[in-house]
């Protein structure tokens, strides 16, 4: 049976547009990793979490009944992170409903707009994941975490000199394997090492050229240059458009080394992309919903995080 115009409209609305929307907004790989692994908490206006800023000096060797070292751990158990709040609104008018008249389209129109709104909210959060919370109502993003000087979680670097990330500038703005390895080494403590590297596409593309001269074709995927994921020393490297920097020729690009064991998204379990129907405004033919997300990013140890800065991908 031939498809009618209304059938095509419905297929486009239900299947094609949602996929296109998600392909666009899922250019937030770091945010989506954080959300998938997020920590749920129940309530309060602040998140209280432990931080680790130096070696634990409260242990050692002893014999039998010898007095033990009772030095306090270098851990603060009540670092403070504010609960931050995000929203996005969705509205569907009576005219919208009337125009979306192709079979399945009518009942899926509101659902489609909700899907789009959730992805848009994720994009807003993806931007702020890289930010510095300059307005005091946004996430405490990587701009704060990676700083070598800013106060973070209520702790000032001036008070605790080890409470900072490992920041290294590229020599002559050129990213090299040696410099990348230096940052990785600085962020590695025993068996704990970064679990993800993130950068803009231009830096990712530069890194992709490092193995070209030594690449060996060992299977059909590599023969078609179908490398599924770039890795550095076994750590996956992702391209995220919200990372600092710009295209080639710009020296503000960075490569972020993130240890997700010590960097988490904490999100309120009752406001984890909660959808609520809003009261209809008198005299309007419009239905409205709001989507809420409440929480913050929590870094337990800045020393486990690092960044290679001042990269020009053209060099």
> DSSP secondary structure string, 231-271?
EETTEEEEE-TTSS--STT-S-EEEEEE-TTSEEEEEEEEE
> Residue 273: which of 5, 14, 36 has the closest Cα?
36
Whether residue 1 has pLDDT greater than 70: no
Summarised one tens digit per residue, pLDDT across range 210-253 is 876 555 555 555 555 545 568 899 999 989 889 999 878 899 99
**pLDDT given for residue 41 in this prediction:** 81
List the strands of the sheet with 230-232, edge to edge.
166-169, 306-311, 253-258, 196-199, 235-239, 230-232
Q: Tell me what pLDDT residue 250 has.
A: 92
pLDDT at position 11, please?
A: 45
- Note the pLDDT of residue 17: 46
In angstroms, the CA 43 to CA 276 distance is: 19
The predicted structure's pLDDT at residue 237: 92
What pLDDT score was predicted for residue 212? 62
The answer for 199, left when phi > 0, alpha when psi is -120 to 50, beta otherwise, is beta
Summarised one tens digit per residue, pLDDT across range 166-193 is 999 999 999 999 999 999 999 999 889 9
Starting at the edge strand found earlier in the chain, the sheet holding 286-299 runs 39-41, 263-277, 286-299, 84-93
- pTM of the predicted protein model: 0.81
Summarised one tens digit per residue, pLDDT across range 29-65 is: 888 888 888 888 877 777 888 887 777 777 788 888 8
What's the fold here for domain 35-53+71-311? phage-related protein like fold (3.90.1690)
Tokens of 193: 């090492």
Q: What is the pLDDT of residue 221?
A: 54
> How confident is the model over 154-165, as pLDDT tens digits?
888 888 888 899
Q: Distance (Å, rounded) from C-alpha 148 to C-alpha 306?
A: 10
Contacts with 36 (C-beta within 8 Å, 6 or more apart), sequence order? none
Q: How far is CA 104 from CA 9, 13, 22, 54, 98, in A?
A: 9, 9, 20, 59, 13
Task: Assign 108 a pLDDT band (cuts: 50, 70, 90).
Answer: low
CA neighbor of 127 nearest in space, from 240, 292, 260, 203 = 240
Nearest to 196 by CA among 166, 245, 235: 235
pLDDT tens for each residue of 59-100: 788 888 888 877 777 677 678 889 999 999 988 888 777 766
Distance of alpha carbon 13 from alpha carbon 5, whole angstroms = 12
Q: What pLDDT is recorded for position 207? A: 92
pLDDT at 214 (0 to 100) = 54
Separation of alpha carbons 31 and 174, rounded Å: 27
Q: How confident is the model at residue 26 (pLDDT cuts 50, 70, 90)?
A: low
Question: How many angstroms separate the CA atoms of 191 and 194, rounded?
Answer: 10
Length of the chain: 315
Find tokens 């125009």 and name the residue.
Answer: 99
Q: pLDDT higher for 55 or 122?
A: 122
Q: How far is CA 149 from the centre of its chain?
A: 22
Please write the tens of the pLDDT for every residue from 262-315.
Answer: 999 999 989 999 989 888 888 888 888 899 999 999 999 999 999 999 999 999
Q: Please check the confidence at residue 8 and state whether its pLDDT lies above 80.
A: no
High-pLDDT (> 90) share of the chain, %: 40
Task: Supply the pLDDT for residue 20.
Answer: 47
Backbone angles phi and psi of 202, in degrees to 5? -65, -40
Number of H helices, E strands in the chain: 9, 12
Query: What contacts 288, CB < 8 A, 6 or more positions away?
Result: 89, 90, 91, 92, 277, 278, 280, 281
How confident is the model at residue 28, as a pLDDT? 75
**Is pLDDT above 90 for 129?**
yes
pLDDT band at 21 (very low <50, low <70, confident <90, very high): very low
């Amino acid at each position: 049976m031939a498809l009618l115009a209304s059938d095509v409209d419905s297929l486009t609305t239900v299947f094609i547009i949602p996929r296109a929307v998600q392909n666009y907004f899922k250019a937030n790989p770091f945010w989506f990793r954080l959300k998938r692994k997020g920590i749920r908490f129940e309530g309060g206006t602040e998140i209280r979490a432990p931080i680790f800023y130096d070696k634990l000096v409260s242990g050692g060797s002893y014999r039998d009944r010898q007095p033990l070292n009772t030095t306090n751990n270098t851990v603060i158990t009540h670092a403070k992170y504010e609960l931050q709040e995000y929203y996005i609104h969705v509205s569907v008018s009576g005219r919208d409903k009337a125009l979306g008249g192709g079979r399945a389209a009518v009942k899926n129109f509101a659902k489609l707009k909700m899907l789009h709104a959730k992805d848009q909210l994720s994009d807003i959060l993806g931007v702020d994941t890289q930010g510095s919370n300059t307005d005091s109502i946004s996430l405490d993003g990587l701009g704060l975490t990676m700083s070598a000087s800013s106060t973070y979680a209520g702790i000032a670097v001036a008070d605790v000199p080890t409470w900072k990330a490992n920041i290294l500038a590229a020599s002559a703005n050129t990213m090299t394997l040696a410099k990348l390895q230096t940052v990785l080494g600085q962020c590695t403590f025993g068996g704990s090492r970064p679990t993800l590297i993130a950068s803009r596409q231009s830096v990712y593309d530069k890194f992709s050229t490092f193995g070209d001269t030594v690449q060996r074709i060992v299977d059909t995927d590599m023969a078609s240059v179908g490398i599924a994921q770039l890795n550095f020393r076994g750590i996956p490297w992702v391209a995220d458009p919200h990372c600092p920097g710009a295209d080639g020729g710009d020296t503000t690009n960075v490569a972020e080394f993130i240890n997700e064991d010590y960097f988490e998204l904490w999100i309120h379990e009752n406001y984890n992309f909660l959808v609520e129907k809003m009261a209809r405004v008198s005299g309007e033919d419009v239905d409205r919903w709001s989507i809420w997300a409440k929480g913050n990013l929590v870094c337990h140890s800045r020393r486990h995080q690092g960044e290679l800065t001042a990269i020009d991908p053209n060099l």
